[in-house]
Amino acid sequence: MCDYRWDMKEATVVCRQLGCNNSPGQHKAASFGPGSGKVWLSQVKCTGDEFTLSECKRNLTMFHNCDHTADVGVICAGGGPLELRLAGGSNRCEGRVEVKHHGEWGTVGDFFWDKKAAMVVCRQLGCNTSYEQATSFGAGTGKIWFSGLKCTGNESALWDCEPELNRYRIWNNTADVGVICAGEPEELRLVGGTNDCEGRVEVKHRGEWGTVCGNDWDTRDAAVVCRQLGCNTSLIKATTFGGGSGKIWLSHLQCTGKETSLWECKHGMWGLHYCNHGQDVGVICQGADEDVRLIGGDNECEGRVEVKHQGTWGTVCGRQWGAKEASVVCRQLGCNTSNEYFSTKATFFGAGSGKIWLSNVKCTGDEPSLAWCMHNTWGIEKCDHTEDVGVICTGEPEELRLFGGDNECEGRVEVKHRGVWGAVCDHNWNQKAASVVCRQLGCNNTTEGHMKAQAAFFGSSSRNVSLSRVKCTGEEAVLWECQHQMWGLATVFIEQTSE
């Protein structure tokens, strides 16, 4: 097997399949010597939850650029359970990070080490979540079990993180990493505003309140603050609440917008900065949920999307709009989750007027309201009303089937929408779309489903075309989560339907 794209998730599946403990280490570049004969698999991609390696996604074409110098290897933890400790500190929640493997304690190098890795260590040891890292606890002795680890922050154990590649290997203990887990949890507040949802951002760390430097601050950072405080997502960045005093605890924050607390975001070390209190950042959060409505449809569950902000209704620009954004709107309105959306300049429900409040809206699909999704600053857009987006929240869930083949895992792709079965046009159809279909139906991934059948390989359909211009990433759970043209809108003849 080729080591291209191989990481800890794949190693974990191998160890589970063999009945061994989960793998604490993977080895690339033929660490156990090159094999011979065929290189059967490459580009294996597992979620880590599979029971066998064959359940993982993989390149089935047999075309690859690997030779046996890239054969992958795995060490499964068969020599007793792994253990973790912090050594050299004043208590069990601070010190040099050490791992016990095969009965021997060893250290961890600092390649890739960041706050996410420190957080995993502290959580695993039952200490408060840490955002401090240090190498001031002295060099360890013996093995360096990991030269470095790349963590997402969600791992339950440090050895579940992805280990470094061999090219970064550390040969001495001078780079042994250490961690300080905070003795008491951090707190957050806004100071100097007219209510609890606006003011200068202040963080309590090690029992002392301090401010946050505005370097690199953006709306994603502000959204995390507002959500953490139980306020609605941030309206604007504000620096009009005056400078604070004392410590400046955080700087260079880089939030994704999905974090549950501000200190989960990437940032510089606590208290280390080149700022002054003239750069203290402030935030104004919304005081109440923004209303949303659908206008111009036959009922309250379909129409042009409009949001009420600062007492005024406005529209939403359709750029980057997709099924996830539509589903948030429908759920917020108490309608069924939508798989219909419109972002064409034809504006199916007509152009709105007045403000275009939101643009470049990007949702995960789990948000309680549209205002919680990432988006450009309210009212700042480069759209016009020909791009106003609309949504239809469907009355019943869609269904998928393959029709006309020898079994339920082959045939012409058909989708049931609003109670009516229809075909899928082959415009833009490729392997990624085919893999979504096969996975959704519980079939094995296809190697042929990407092929277009202009002559309708499984027979021409007499049905409507439900979907056209389907564009998938390959990661979608269902076909209609892929980008596609408006339901039922197709400019092709039915004979162009794909298998």
- Name residues whose C-beta falls within 8 Å of residue 154's C-beta, 6 or more positions apart in sequence: none
Cα separation, 307 vs 376, whole angstroms: 14
Distances (CA, A) of 379 to 149, 313, 352, 390: 42, 11, 14, 18
54, two tokens: 């064959």
* Tens place of pLDDT per residue across the chain (499 aa): 877 777 778 888 888 777 676 555 554 444 566 778 887 777 788 888 777 787 888 766 555 667 777 778 777 765 556 789 999 888 888 899 999 887 889 998 888 888 888 889 988 888 776 555 555 688 888 888 888 888 888 888 888 888 765 445 556 788 888 888 865 667 899 998 767 888 899 999 877 899 999 888 887 888 889 888 887 664 544 456 788 889 999 988 888 888 888 888 888 777 888 889 988 998 877 654 568 999 988 888 888 999 987 678 999 998 888 888 888 898 888 777 665 655 444 457 888 888 998 888 888 887 777 877 877 767 777 888 988 998 888 756 678 898 888 888 888 899 887 778 888 888 888 888 888 999 889 887 654 444 444 435 666 655 677 788 888 888 888 888 787 776 666 544 333 333 3
Domains and CATH numbers, the chain: 1-78 (3.10.250.10), 83-180 (3.10.250.10), 200-285 (3.10.250.10), 291-392 (3.10.250.10), 399-496 (3.10.250.10)
CA atoms within 13 A on the CB side of 216: 14
| Closest to 143 in 3D by CA, of 105, 92, 183 | 105
- Specify the pLDDT at position 495: 36
| Closest to 373 in 3D by CA, of 320, 297, 334, 333 | 320
Cα separation, 271 vs 310, whole angstroms: 37
- Specify the pLDDT at position 116: 85
The amino acid at residue 427 is H
Cα separation, 459 vs 466, whole angstroms: 17
389, two tokens: 């987006």
408, two tokens: 């339920």
- Name residues whose C-beta falls within 8 Å of residue 128's C-beta, 6 or more positions apart in sequence: 93, 122, 181, 182, 183, 184, 185
Contact 191, 39 (CB under 8 A): no
Element (H, E) at 111: strand 104-111
**Phi, psi at residue 431, to the nearest 5°?**
-60, -35
- Specify the pLDDT at position 53: 82
The residue whose two tokens read 């949303």 is 292
112, two tokens: 């890739």
Please report, to the nearest 10 degrees, the dihedral formed by the alpha carbons of residues 296, 297, 303, 308 taken in order.
50
| Closest to 489 in 3D by CA, of 421, 432, 424 | 424
